[in-house]
């Protein structure tokens, strides 16, 4: 199978995995938001920051090094596993010991024991990271689809069942832990790999020479993404943090679901084409235009209908998070401009450049948070600072692409400009509908229909290449599936 065919097939399987799992997760989160209170989600937000930081350190960028390195052996997979497991064990011991201190620092006495239990995912993910690297390297995204489907099903039953039983924050812990354990087992059932009692010190040093820069970059990125939880949890309490985390969760899921379909596949494709800069540039350009065409309108539509959507789905107790929701929609609308450039750098083997970008952006983000707190002193200003730094960071992330790929920031803006203009026109149309004497579900459906009609109508009228490309990919994949089905009949 050609690289292009592998990419298209992988994108389609990744779309099924991301789209299907997030649809189920959305329903589950809505149910749990109605059963639990904002304070429970505030505690989970603090726990997830620490666990995410631990996962970043434990994997040390080695999982990505396995995907990027052109000459990986079976021995390399075992070497990386033992390194990740050792790091995860040390980090879990730290989490276990420091849990009471974290609970005291944030003024959340009930946080300690759930944090110790949730920290077990560090050990689980040390194994799963290697499996996912092997799957991604082989572009076998169907296996990730199966693993995710099983994980979502099991974790949903555990989470909702625990919430109905009145277990509070423990329902969220059970959901998270159930997902990760099921995920590693589902992948293990499909991947023909088991760790061996072998360790190659020379290869460990070689892989770590690439991975440590991604480790540092990952830590900076995770800290930057977690600034809201770290700061808001301390200054504004678990209730306000719960509102912020819910306001972020849905736009983030929407953006990463769509963009996350394209970027892992692009990373593998660019890694294979890194010797041909012109071909790599075409892959990256197509990835940016396609991702922007899907992510940006989805976020704009979500922001337009948020005042009706949030109370309707989550309940009136979550109405105060509407403003946070809309701001995060703006933040994640810029996601394609960030991730496409960063994944392209990793695929081209420029992990050092990746690290320097993360340093610059972390400084920008910290400065924005500091100004927001000192000048305005509110949670809303804190989240708004992410919009400002997000805009600046699109330029920062794109700068190296001019040198590495010959794809400058100005050209990237030209490539996404038609999508931005279509989004603006569609948003204005949907917002105008809110002036009608209609409310509830009726208003929501009218706004959504208006937005989609304007967006697709203008795309057809202007003959946008992005829409034609997506239709072509969908037809090609469906045709290939029918052809294989007929061959088996």
366-393 per-position pLDDT tens digit = 888 888 888 888 889 989 999 999 999 9
314 to 28, 236, 320, 386: CA distances (angstroms):
11, 22, 11, 24
DSSP conformation letters of 327-371: HHHHHHHTHHHHHHHHHHHHHTT-HHHHHHHHHHHHHHHHHHHHH
Count Cβ neighbours within 10 Å for each residue of 449-462 and write b for 16 or more, e otherwise.
ebbeebbeeebeee
Q: How far apart are CA 467 and CA 474, in angstroms?
A: 11
The yes-or-no verdict on residue 181 having pLDDT over 90 is: yes
User: Are 265 and 10 a contacting pair, CB within 8 Å?
Assistant: yes
| Token pair recorded at residue 366 | 């910290």
Q: How far apart are CA 221 and CA 215, in angstroms?
A: 10
3-state secondary structure of 262: helix
Banded pLDDT at 483 (limits 50, 70, 90) = low
Query: Domain segments of the chain: what residues?
Result: 1-215, 226-489
The yes-or-no verdict on residue 46 having pLDDT over 90 is: no
Banded pLDDT at 485 (limits 50, 70, 90) = low
Q: Percent of the chain at pLDDT above 70?
A: 85
Q: How far apart are CA 337 and CA 326, in angstroms?
A: 19
Determine the average pLDDT of the residues in 391-399: 91
Q: How far apart are CA 113 and CA 126, in angstroms?
A: 22
3-state secondary structure of 393: helix
Q: How far apart are CA 295 and CA 299, in angstroms?
A: 6
- pLDDT for the residue 291: 87
Residues 323-364: tens digit of each pLDDT: 999 999 999 999 999 988 887 877 777 767 777 887 888 888
- pLDDT for the residue 486: 56
139: left (phi over 0), alpha (psi -120 to 50) or beta: left
- pLDDT for the residue 62: 74
The yes-or-no verdict on residue 446 having pLDDT over 50 is: yes
pTM of the model: 0.70
User: Are 126 and 58 a contacting pair, CB within 8 Å?
Assistant: yes
| Token pair recorded at residue 143 | 């296996």
- pLDDT for the residue 73: 85
User: Are 32 and 159 a contacting pair, CB within 8 Å?
Assistant: yes
The yes-or-no verdict on residue 488 having pLDDT over 60 is: no
Residue of 438, 270, 433 whose CA lies nearest to 339: 270
Banded pLDDT at 274 (limits 50, 70, 90) = low
Residue of 453, 444, 457, 455 whose CA lies nearest to 304: 444
Q: How far apart are CA 245 and CA 254, in angstroms?
A: 14
User: Are 225 and 252 a contacting pair, CB within 8 Å?
Assistant: no
Query: Which residue's entry shows tokens 């496409």?
Result: 340
The yes-or-no verdict on residue 8 having pLDDT over 60 is: no
- pLDDT for the residue 489: 46
User: Are 258 and 294 a contacting pair, CB within 8 Å?
Assistant: yes
For 243, counting Cβ atoms within 10 Å of its Cβ (0-12 exposed, 13-18 middle, 19+ buried), the class is buried
- pLDDT for the residue 158: 93
Residue 286 CA from chain centroid, whole number: 20
Q: How far apart are CA 45 and CA 229, in angstroms?
A: 6
- pLDDT for the residue 20: 60
Among 130-139, 266-275, 373-382, the range scoring the smallest mean pLDDT is 266-275
- Spell out the residues 6+ positions from residue 266 whose beta carbon is closer than 8 angstroms to its own: 7, 283, 284, 287, 340, 343, 344, 347
- pLDDT for the residue 324: 95
| Token pair recorded at residue 428 | 């204005």
Q: How far apart are CA 337 and CA 77, in angstroms?
A: 32
- pLDDT for the residue 354: 72
Most confident range (mean pLDDT) of 54-63, 73-82, 124-133, 291-300 is 291-300
Q: How far apart are CA 51 and CA 217, in angstroms?
A: 17
- pLDDT for the residue 478: 64
Determine the average pLDDT of the residues in 98-108: 90
Q: How far apart are CA 343 and CA 270, in angstroms?
A: 9
Work out whether the CA dihedral 234, 238, 239, 240 comes out positive or negative: positive
Banded pLDDT at 1 (limits 50, 70, 90) = low
Determine the average pLDDT of the residues in 472-480: 67
Determine the average pLDDT of the residues in 274-302: 86
- pLDDT for the residue 129: 85
Residue 474 CA from chain centroid, whole number: 23
- pLDDT for the residue 7: 56
- pLDDT for the residue 132: 85
């Amino acid at each position: 199978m050609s690289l292009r065919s592998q990419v298209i097939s992988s994108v389609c399987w990744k779309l099924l995995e991301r789209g299907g799992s997030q649809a189920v997760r959305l329903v589950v989160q809505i149910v749990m938001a109605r059963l639990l209170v904002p304070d429970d989600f505030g505690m989970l937000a603090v726990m997830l920051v620490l666990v995410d930081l631990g996962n970043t350190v434990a994997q040390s960028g080695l999982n990505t090094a396995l995907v990027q390195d052109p000459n990986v052996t079976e021995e390399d997979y075992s070497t990386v596993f033992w390194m990740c497991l050792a790091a995860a064990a040390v980090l879990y011991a730290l989490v276990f010991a420091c849990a009471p201190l974290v609970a005291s620092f944030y003024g959340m006495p009930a946080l300690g024991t759930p944090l110790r239990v949730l920290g077990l995912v560090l050990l689980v993910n040390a194994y799963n990271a290697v499996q996912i690297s092997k799957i991604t390297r082989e572009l076998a995204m169907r296996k990730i689809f199966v693993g995710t489907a099983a994980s979502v099903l099991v974790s949903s039953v555990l989470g909702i069942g625990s919430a109905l039983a009145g277990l509070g924050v423990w329902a969220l812990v059970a959901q998270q832990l159930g997902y990760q354990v099921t995920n590693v087992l589902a992948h293990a059932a499909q991947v023909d790999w088991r760790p061996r009692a072998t360790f190659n010190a020379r290869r460990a040093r070689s892989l770590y020479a690439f991975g440590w820069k991604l480790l540092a970059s990952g830590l900076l990125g995770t800290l930057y993404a977690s600034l809201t939880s770290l700061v808001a949890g301390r200054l504004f309490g678990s209730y306000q943090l719960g509102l912020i985390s819910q306001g972020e969760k849905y736009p983030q899921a929407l953006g990463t679901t769509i963009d996350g379909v394209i970027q892992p596949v692009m990373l593998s494709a660019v890694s294979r084409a890194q010797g041909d800069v012109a071909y790599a540039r075409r892959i990256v350009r197509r990835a940016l235009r396609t991702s922007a065409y899907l992510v940006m309108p989805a976020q704009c539509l979500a922001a337009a209908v948020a005042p009706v959507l949030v109370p309707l789905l989550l309940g009136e107790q979550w109405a105060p998070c509407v403003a946070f929701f809309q701001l995060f929609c703006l933040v994640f609308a810029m996601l394609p401009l960030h991730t496409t450039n960063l994944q392209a750098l990793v695929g081209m083997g420029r992990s050092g450049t990746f690290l320097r970008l993360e340093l610059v952006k972390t400084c920008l983000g910290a400065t924005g948070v500091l100004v927001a707190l000192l000048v305005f002193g509110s949670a809303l200003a804190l989240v708004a600072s992410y919009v400002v730094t997000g805009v600046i960071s699109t330029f920062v992330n794109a700068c190296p692409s001019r040198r590495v790929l010959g794809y400058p920031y100005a050209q990237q803006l030209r490539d996404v400009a038609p999508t931005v203009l279509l989004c603006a026109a569609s948003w204005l149309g949907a917002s105008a509908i809110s002036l009608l004497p209609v409310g509830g579900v009726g208003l929501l459906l009218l706004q959504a229909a208006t937005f989609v009609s304007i967006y697709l109508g203008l795309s057809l009228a202007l003959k946008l290449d992005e829409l034609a490309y997506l239709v072509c990919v969908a037809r090609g994949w469906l045709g290939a599936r029918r052809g294989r089905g007929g061959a088996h009949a």
